[in-house]
Amino acid sequence: MADTLLRTVQARALPLREARDLEPLLDRIGDAKVVMLGEATHGTSEFYTWRARITERLVAEKGFSFVAVEGDWPDCRRLDRYVKGEGEAASAREVLHAFDRWPTWMWANREVAALAEWLRTWNATREPGRRVGFYGLDVYSLWDSLHAIAGFLASRDGAALERLAAALRCFEPYGEDVQAYARATRFVDESCEDEVVALLRSLQEERQRLGDGAAFFDAEQNALVAKNAEAYYRTMVRGGDASWNLRDAHMAETLERLLRHHGPGARAIVWAHNTHVGDARYTDMARAGLWNIGQLAREAYGEEEVVLVGFGTHRGTVIAAEAWEEPMMRMPVPPAQPESWEEVLHRATPDDCLLLFRHDEDEELLEVRKHRAIGVVYRPGLEAFGNYVPTVLPRRYDAFLFLDQTHALHPLHLVERPEVEPPETWPSGF
């Protein structure tokens, strides 16, 4: 590793110890329309707490309109109602305990509960139309979204109710099992695509006729989720990368709808994994034909209107699972791989730090290096074989928070299996 790279990082690294150290980042954000806050894992406490600190300052000092996260629309709408002082829930924890789709720990955790309580307190002194919202961007909630539409249409007659009934009849044979539905469409030339598209169109027509109220917006968004979720699961079972692009395109479309719904001057804070936030054009994702919401936002709103903030860690612990839908565990995060961005930052500075990137970046910082990415499924002993994304860091992000040693977040549901203890010596390459 070149000494010039280490010296450059040392000279550029800003201290990151308390909330006031975020001042340079807020200056960089300026009047941007969209700020996206990443994470290198879905289970690290410090990523959530620093994102919350940034969020609180953006809301209080810059008037941001809402938070939109990598979560399901129906679940997040329940939390949205709580932070706006609506509904009967007694606490954010009560609402978050109902987040029961795996991986529950992503949003049902103490760190998110603390932010939700802060948002509720903030909103308590605002007029209803000026309260900060909390929304889900993701595409997974096919059944929950259909049930939410049913609740909305329960006291109504008309074409939308008929379209909903047709969609529910179409999906009924699969018993709310999205995998069963997806597998069935793989072997026969039949699907429920027409039914969910017709449901969305019907709700859109009703909304145009009757007005743009919050309830109609919610129902229409659930219909959009149902349409895109049907396509997502049908595409996913066929393999390939198309389902990734469909999912991030849905996130980008939902973000655009929320900005329009909140009116002129609306500003958005997005929470999602680095793989969604960091511009895909500056990773190996681009060669595979993949895009993400960070790239789509820059293209839609202009690079001056979008600030992408990445997060990383050198070592620590994390909440994750060994396989999809397996119980959550507290796992070790081994020291970062040699020659990775995380090792560069660890060697350059012993402390947590903030990096702000420039358009005329130093040449040595424009190298392609491995950048850690841990998902909900993680096996520390196999990290070298799939948990790094080749990245041009100063192009993928506008800013980067490096937290040298981090700790697992605090799920509201119990960690269901004991902590995995690291071996005395990490395998070769760790």
CA triplet 377, 144, 262: central angle to 5 degrees?
A: 95
Q: Are residues 60 and 172 in the same domain?
A: no
Residue 245 lies in a domain: yes
Q: Is 50 exceeded by the pLDDT of residue 423?
A: no
Mean pLDDT of 140-152: 94
Which residue, of 217, 252, 287, is where some domain finishes?
252
Residue 114 lies in a domain: no
Tens of pLDDT, residues 357-409: 988 877 889 999 999 999 999 999 888 888 999 999 999 999 999 999 999 99
Q: Are residues 202 and 305 in the same domain?
A: no
User: Which one-letter amino acid corresponds to residue 421?
Assistant: E
Which CATH number is 295's domain given? Answer: 3.40.1660.10
Q: Are residues 164 and 28 in the same domain?
A: no
The pLDDT value recorded for residue 190 is 81
Q: Report how far apart, in Å, the C-alpha atoms of 142 and of each of 70, 145, 172, 200 are.
A: 15, 5, 12, 13
Of 314, 305, 248, 302, nearest to 277 by C-alpha is 248
Mean pLDDT of 182-187: 84
Q: Are residues 352 and 289 in the same domain?
A: yes
Pairing of strands 388-391, 369-372: antiparallel
Q: How confident is the model at residue 157 (pLDDT cuts 50, 70, 90)?
A: confident
Residue 44 lies in a domain: yes
CA dist 300 and 304 (Å) reads 11
Residue 87 lies in a domain: no
The answer to whether 401 and 356 are in contact (CB under 8 A) is no
The answer to whether 388 and 337 are in contact (CB under 8 A) is yes
Token representation of residue 157: 């007659």
Of 355, 386, 392, 357, nearest to 373 by C-alpha is 386
Token representation of residue 66: 């809402």
CA triplet 303, 306, 309: central angle to 5 degrees?
A: 115
Token representation of residue 363: 């040449």
Q: Report how far apart, in Å, the C-alpha atoms of 331 and of each of 88, 296, 315, 322, 379 are.
A: 36, 33, 11, 10, 8
What's the predicted TM-score (pTM) here?
Answer: 0.94
Mean pLDDT of 210-215: 72
Residue 262 lies in a domain: no
Contacting residues for 91 by C-beta, under 8 A, at least 6 apart: 113, 117
Residue 122 lies in a domain: no
- Cα dihedral sign for 419, 424, 426, 428? negative
CA dist 123 and 127 (Å) reads 8
The pLDDT value recorded for residue 167 is 94
Q: Are residues 233 and 336 in the same domain?
A: no
Q: Are residues 153 and 221 in the same domain?
A: yes
Lowest mean pLDDT among 182-191, 340-349, 390-399: 182-191
Question: Looking at the 3D structure of the chain, how many domains does it have?
Answer: 2
Q: Are residues 401 and 287 in the same domain?
A: yes
Mean pLDDT of 321-343: 95
CA dist 408 and 79 (Å) reads 23
Q: Are residues 239 and 279 in the same domain?
A: no
Note down the domain range covering 290: 1-65+271-430
Residue 101 C-alpha from the chain's centroid: 15
Q: How confident is the model at residue 3 (pLDDT cuts 50, 70, 90)?
A: confident
3-state secondary structure of 331: strand
Q: Are residues 306 and 228 in the same domain?
A: no
The answer to whether 222 and 148 are in contact (CB under 8 A) is yes
Q: Are residues 280 and 425 in the same domain?
A: yes
Helix (H) or strand (E) holding 271: strand 268-271
Tens of pLDDT, residues 234-278: 998 887 789 999 999 999 999 999 999 999 999 999 999 999 999
Which residue, of 189, 222, 252, is where some domain finishes?
252
Residue 78 lies in a domain: no
For the chain, how are helix, strand and coil distributed in percent, rounded to 5? Answer: 50, 15, 35
Please measure the distance between the N-terminal and C-terminal CA atoms of the chain and give it in whole angstroms.
16
Which residue, of 202, 222, 252, is where some domain finishes?
252
Q: Are residues 293 and 406 in the same domain?
A: yes
Token representation of residue 339: 């020659």
Residue 409 lies in a domain: yes
Q: Are residues 303 and 383 in the same domain?
A: yes
What's the DSSP call for residue 411?
B
